[in-house]
Chain A
Amino acid sequence: MTASSETRAPAAPAAPPVPADPAERGGVRHGVGTDAPRPDGVLKVTGEFAYSSDLWADDMLWGATLRSPHPHARIRGIDLTEAVRLPGVYAVLTHEDVPGAKYYGLERADQPVLADGKVRYQGEPVAIVAADHPETARRAMMRIAVDYEVLEPVSDARRAAFDPACPPVHGPAAPPEPGGAARPANVVRYQPVRTGAFAAGAGLDEVRAQADVIVTGEYQVGMQDQAFLGPESGLAVPAADGGVDLYVATQWLHVDQSQLAPCLGLPPEKVRLNLAGVGGAFGAREDLSMQAHACLLALRTGRPVKMVYHREESFFGHVHRHPATMRYEHGARADGTLVFATMEIVLDGGAYASTTSAVVGVASSMAVGPYEVPNVRVDAYGVYTNNPPCGAMRGFGAVQACFGYESQMDRLAEALGMHPVELRIRNAMSEGSRTATGQPVDMPLPMADMLARARALPPPAEPETGPGTDPRRLPGGVAGTTRGEGVVRGVGYGVGIKNICYSESFDDYSTARVRLELVGGEPAVQVHTAAAEVGQGLVTVQQQVARTELGVERVVVRPADTAVGSSGSSSASRQSYMTGGAVKAACEAVREAVFRLARERGLPPGADDALELRGGAVVTRLGAVVAELAELLADTAVEETRVFRHRPTRPMDPLTGQGDAHVQFAMCVHRAVVDVDTELGLVRVVELAAVQDVGRALNPLQLAGQIHGGSAQGLGLALMEEVQVRDAAVRNPSFTDYLIPTILDMPPMRVEILEHPDPHAPYGLRGAGEPPTLSSTPAIIAAIRAATGRPLAHAPVRPEDIVGLPVP
C-alpha cells in the first residue's frame, strides 16, 4: 500500500506487489525456519488420526498378558490346562515357548521375554494368550494357575547399592570389567567423576578448608511416569516367508528389530517393523513392551494378533523415570565463587537394566550442572531392585541431577546472602569452559545472558484475592479452598544442562533416502527414513529440510519402517540433529546428481559452476535458469541414500569420569512464580517463563510446543507426579491417582528463544526437547521454598511438605 494520494494511471502495468509471505524462505514455502504446518495436525485435533491402538485386520486375534501380582516370587509351576480348553482360545504361551533367545534388553540382555521361573517385579509378564475376543483372552488368563512362592523383595535402592548382604536381584556380581573396580551384585553401573584436588587424591577436609561457606543437602526425586496417552499397542501379522510384519508405536524401529529377531529365532530381515501412530513416547517406548509377545502369538497361530494395554496395565508395561536419592555438598568463597562440589547419586533401576547404565552416565557427567567448579567428586550408582524397571524418560538422568544442584545453588545463595541468579551467573559455564568430565565446550553457551534475561522479564500481576475472585486464579483452583487466606507468593529460578544425542562412544547415526521425481509433471520429493514421529513434529522437520535443500515444496515423508536403514532413537533430543542431518545429506547428494544431469546436457555459455536448485529448476547463482526439473527428470528419478553421523564421542574413564563423552550441550532457564496456600500446602503456578537457546529454530511453532510440553512435564514432577511404590508394589497405577497437570495447573508461558548457532550441527541447531524438562522442576520448587521457607527436599512437593507434616 502506498500513502500517496496522487491518482494517476500507471504508464505501464506495474509488477504485482509480492506479498511478504512469512512461510517463505529462500524461494520455497514451508522450508527450514518457518512454522510449516504438520501433516498430522488436523487429523489429531479432529480425532481422525489412526493410532497404533486403532490397527485392525479382519481375521485378527487379540493378545493379552498375564502378569505377576508379586514383585518377587519363584514360579513353582504354571498350569495352562483350563485356559487352553476355553473355546475361542488359540494359544497360551510361556517362557518355554520362546523359540529363540529367552532374554533381551537395550544395554544388557537380562529381561526374559516371559518370566523364567522367577518374577522380579510386580506386573512382570508370565504368560500370553491369543483369543478371538479380548474378553475371551481375559477369561483364559483367569484360568491360568500360577503357583508362586512369594519372596521378600529388594525395595531399597540405597541398600542395593551399599549393603554387601543385600540379596542379588539377578544372581552374583559379574567379575569386574578391565580397569574397573569390583562392584556389589546389584550395582548395574557405578560411575565416579574426579577433578582438581579430588583427582589428585586430596581428602574432603582439605578441600573444604578452601571454602568460606559450605552447604549440604539430601534430595529425592520420585518415580515419574511418562504418562503418554496412547497405551502400548500394535498388530503382528505373520508373513508367507515365515517371518512377521509388526505394526507398532515405538521410538526406534531398528533396535526393536535387533532385540526381537533373536527371540523369535528369525533373521532380522524376516522381522519387519512399521511405525504405527504413536500417542506420545517420552522415553517409555524405548524398551520392548508387547512387541515380542504379539509376534510370538502371531507366528504360533498363523493369524494377525493385536495387543493393546489397558491404562492400568500400561503403568506396568513400560519403564519409568529413575527415582533418585542424592547427597550434595557445595563449598564457595565469600564472593560466591564455587570451590568444590561432591555428590552421591543413587538411581533405582528396578528389576531390569534397561538404559540404567546410560542414565548413570548422564547423571554423573551432568551432576554438577552448568557451573565451573574446580574440584568435583561425583559417585553415581544405578542399581537393581525389585521395584518397577526404570529407564528412559525425557531428561534421562539430567533431570534428577538438576533438582539436586539447583536446590544446592539456592541454598548456597541464601547462605551467602546473594541473589540466586547472581550466584548462578558468577559460576556460569560459557563457550570455552570445560565440563566436569574435562570436555571443552566448543559451541556457544550463553548461560549468563539467559539468566539475566529471565530475571529481567516483567513480573506477573499481583495475586487477586477477596470475595468474588475467580477461584481458578488461586491455589486450590475450582475447589474454592481460599479467597486469599494463607496465600503467599514466591519466585524461583532454575537452569539445567543436557547432553544432546547419544554419548560415550556410541555409534550414533541416522539414514535417509530421498527421491526426486516428477509426479503429474511436477517435481516432488519423497523422504524415507526409519525415524519415529512420536508427536514431536519430526515428519514436518524432514519435509522442511527437503524443501529448503531441493527448492521443491511438494515433499512426502513415507511411513517409517525397517525397509530403510536405522535412524536411531527418537530420544536424547537428537532427531532434528541426526535425521534432519541425514535428510539434509541425502538431499545434497540428490542435488549434486541433478546438477550432474544438468551438466551432462551442457550448461549455457557463461554459466559458472555454482548451481542451485530453486523453484523447480536448476539455476545459476544469479538466477538464470539452466534447466527445468520437469525436463531434466522427464524419464528418470534421482534417488540417494545417506548415513549421517555426529562427531565421535569417547567413553568416560571408569575411575575419573574424564572423557569427551558428549556431542552437544543444551540449556534452558526458567523463572517460576507461584502462589502458595501455606496453610493447606496447595500451589498455583502463576507464571513459568522460559529462556532457551536452540542454535537455530527449524520450526518456531513446533519448538514452542516442545518448550511448553517439557515445562509442563517438569511442573508435573514439581507438584504432583509420582508413581508411589511401597514394598516394591505400585499403589497408584491409574490417572485417578497418578496426577498429571491439567490446563488449570499449567499457566500460559512466556518463552524467549535465542539462536546462537552450534558450528558442528546441521543448520547450527541445538536439540531442544529435553532441556525445559530439567529446569522447570527446580524453578517451581525454589519458588515454593521462597514463599514458605520450607526446605522441600522431595520432588514432587506434597501438601504435607509445605505444611510441615510427615509423609508416611
Chain B
Amino acid sequence: MEFLRPADWDEALAMRAELPGARPLMGGTDVMVELNASGSEFGRPAELPEALIDLSGLPEPRGHGPDGGWLRLGAGVPYTRIVAELAARAPALAAAARTIGSPQIRNRGTVGGNLGAASPAGDAHPPLLATDAQVELASRGEVRRVPARDFYLAPRRTELRPDELIAAVLLPPAAGPQRFAKVGTRNAMVIAVCSFAIELRPALGEVGTGIGSAGPVPLRAHEAEDFLRAELADRWEARRPLPEAVERRFGELAARAARPIDDVRGSAAYRRHAVGVLARRTLRWAWEDYRKGADPCG
C-alpha cells in the first residue's frame, strides 16, 4: 500500500483520476480504524486499498468563508473548529460536531470524511439535510454541486464518483433556528442509535428535517415537514407556544419516516420511537428559539 502526499489540490485530483483504487485520507478517523481492523476478522480477506492519498496537509479544504450568501465549509475543517468557529452560523452542524467522538476525534475528524464514509450513522448528515446544504464534488476539470438530499444513495454509497474528491459543503444563508439531538447509550463518545435535526425558516415559511441512523441512508421526514409547514403557516406571526398536539403529531410523522433496522445498537422499534421523541423535543426548542428570537444555540 502506497502513501501519497500530493503537493496541492490539483495534484490530489490528478492522483485520484489516475488511481481509482486509492483511498482519500482526511482526518483518518475512519480510514485508520478500517486499516487496523483489516485482517483481524478471521478468515475473511482484508481489503487494503492500493494507496492512500493524504489530503490532510493541503490548505484548500481546511478553510471556511462566505460564498455569495452561502457558507462554504472546506471538507477538511475539523469538528473542533466547527464547534469553535461556526456555532452561530451553523448551529445544527456545530451541535452535531460537538457530539462526535472524543476531543481527539474532533481534532482530526471532518465533515468531508463523514460524507466520504457515508455511514448511515454519521452525525453530520442530518444537519446537512435539514438545512438543504450542498456537497461540492471536484474532479480534474469539473466541479459540481449536489444537494445533500440527492447525495446519499445506499449505505456507504453516494453520488461521489471514483475520480472525484469532496471539496466542500455549502450551507445556505442562515434562515432560522436549528436544533440537533442524538441518542446514544453512553453519555459521550458514542455512535448514534438515532439522531434528528430540524431547521425553521420563518422568512420562507419552510422547515427542514434530517433523520440519522434510522434508515439505510440519512433521511428527510417529508410528511412531517409538510405537516409542520402547514401548521406553522399562520403561526409565524403570532409567535405563540405551539400546541402540544402539533409537537406530538410532528414527532409521530417523523417516526413514521424512519426506516430503521434491529442491530447491536438498538432495535428498530426503539429507534422509531426515539426519532419521534427527538423530533418533538427539537421542534419545541427550535420554536422557542424562534419565539424569543434568541441565540439559537442557547
Which residues from chain A sit less than 8 Å from chain B, CB to CB?
66-69, 123, 138, 141-142, 146, 310-313, 316, 467-468, 472, 475-483, 485-486, 679-682, 684, 719-720, 724, 731-732, 734, 736-737, 739, 741-745, 798-800, 803, 805-808
Residue numbers in B under 8 Å from A719 (CB-CB): 185
Neighbouring A residues of B192 by C-beta, 8 Å: 479
Residues of chain B touching chain A, judged by Cβ–Cβ distance below 8 Å, are 33, 36-37, 39-46, 95, 98-99, 102, 180-193, 195, 262, 264-270, 273-274, 277-278, 281, 285, 288, 298
Question: Which residue of chain B is the closest to A467 with respect to CB atoms?
Answer: B298
Cα distance, A741 to B266, chains bound together (Å): 18
- Of all chain B residues, the one with the shortest Cβ separation from A126 is B42
B186–A742 touching, CB < 8 Å: yes
**Chain B min CB distance to A70 (Å):** 9
Contact A742 B189 (CB under 8 A): yes
Given A480-B99, A684-B187, A720-B185, 19 additional A-B pairs, CB 8 A: A67-B42, A68-B42, A138-B39, A310-B40, A468-B298, A476-B184, A479-B190, A480-B98, A480-B182, A481-B181, A679-B277, A731-B264, A736-B191, A737-B264, A742-B102, A799-B185, A800-B266, A800-B267, A805-B273
* Main secondary structure on A side of the interface with B: loop
Q: How far is the CA of A595 from the CA of B268 in the complex (A)?
A: 75
**Distance from B229 Cβ to chain A, minimum over Cβ atoms (Å):** 24
A16–chain B nearest beta-carbon distance, Å: 49
Contact B40 A313 (CB under 8 A): yes
Q: Are A481 and B182 in contact (CB under 8 A)?
A: yes
Q: Which residues of A contact B182 (CB under 8 A)?
A: 479-481
Q: Which of B40, B99, B187, B193 is within 8 Å of A745, CB to CB?
A: B187
Cβ contact of B274, chosen from A316, A799, A807, cutoff 8 A: A799
Whether the pair B187, A744 counts as a contact (CB closer than 8 A) is yes
Give the docked Cα–Cα distance between A300 and B23 (Å).
39
Residues of B within 8 A of A467 (CB): 285, 288, 298
Residues of B with C-beta under 8 A to A483: 285
A–B Cβ pairs within 8 angstroms, 20 of them: A67-B43, A142-B39, A310-B40, A312-B37, A467-B288, A472-B187, A479-B192, A481-B182, A680-B278, A719-B185, A724-B264, A731-B264, A744-B188, A745-B186, A799-B185, A799-B266, A799-B270, A800-B269, A805-B267, A806-B267
| Docked CA distance A397–B153 (Å) | 49
State in angstroms the CA–CA spacing of A731 and B298 once bound together.
Answer: 39
CB-CB < 8 A to B277: which residues of A? Answer: 481, 486, 679-680
Contact across chains for B281 and A482 when beta carbons are under 8 A apart? yes
Q: Which residue of B lies closest to A730 (CB)?
A: B264
Select B181's contact among A479, A745, A803, A807, beta carbons within 8 Å.
A479
Instruction: State A741–B188 Cα separation when bound (angstroms).
Output: 9
A684 and B187 CA atoms in complex are apart in Å by 8
The CA of A310 and the CA of B185, in the complex, are separated in Å by 25
6 nearest CB pairs, A to B = A477-B187, A67-B42, A310-B40, A69-B43, A479-B182, A744-B188
Contacts of B180 in A (CB 8 A): 480
- State the CA gap A68–B40 with chains docked (Å): 12
B268 CB to nearest chain A CB (Å) = 8
A141, B43: Cα distance in complex, Å: 8
Report the separation of the CA atoms of residues A680 and B271 in the bound assembly, to the nearest whole angstrom: 10
A303 CB to closest chain B CB, in angstroms? Answer: 22
By a CB distance below 8 angstroms, the chain B residues around A681 are: 270, 274
Q: Nearest CB to that of A735 among chain B residues? A: B189
Shortest A36–chain B CB gap in Å is: 33
Q: Is the CB of A808 within 8 A of B262?
A: yes
Given the complex of chains A and B, what is the CA–CA distance between A745 and B187 in angstroms?
Answer: 6
What residues of B have a CB within 8 angstroms of the CB of A481 in the complex? 181-183, 277-278, 281
Q: Are B40 and A312 in contact (CB under 8 A)?
A: yes
B185 contacts A682, C-beta separation under 8 Å: yes
Q: Are A479 and B40 in contact (CB under 8 A)?
A: no
Report whether B267 and A739 are in contact in the complex, using a CB–CB cutoff of 8 Å.
Answer: no
CA distance A483 to B288 in the complex (A): 13
Question: What's the least CB distance linking B244 to chain A, in Å?
Answer: 12
A478 close to B98 (CB less than 8 A): yes
Asked if A138 and B264 sit within 8 Å, CB to CB, the answer is: no
- Known A-B contacts A68-B42, A739-B186, A803-B273; the reply to A479 vs B266 at CB < 8 A is no
Which residues of the other chain, A, contact B264 by a CB distance below 8 angstroms? 724, 731-732, 737
A744 to B98, CA, bound (A): 14
Q: Are A310 and B37 in contact (CB under 8 A)?
A: yes
Q: What separation, in Å, do the CA atoms of A310 and B39 have in the docked complex? A: 9
Give the docked Cα–Cα distance between A743 and B188 (Å): 9
Report which of B33, B269, B288 forms a contact with A805, defined as CB distance below 8 A: B269
B292: shortest Cβ distance to chain A, in Å?
9
Q: Is the CB of B99 within 8 A of A479?
A: yes
B198 to chain A, nearest CB (A): 13
CB <8 Å contact, A803 and B99:
no
Distance from B278 Cβ to chain A, minimum over Cβ atoms (Å): 7
Q: Which residues of B contact A798 (CB under 8 A)?
A: 185, 266
Which of B185, B262, B288 is the most central at the interface, judged by chain A CB atoms within 10 Å of its CB?
B185
In the complex, are the beta carbons of B191 and A475 less than 8 A apart?
A: no
B190 touching A739 by the CB < 8 A rule? Answer: yes
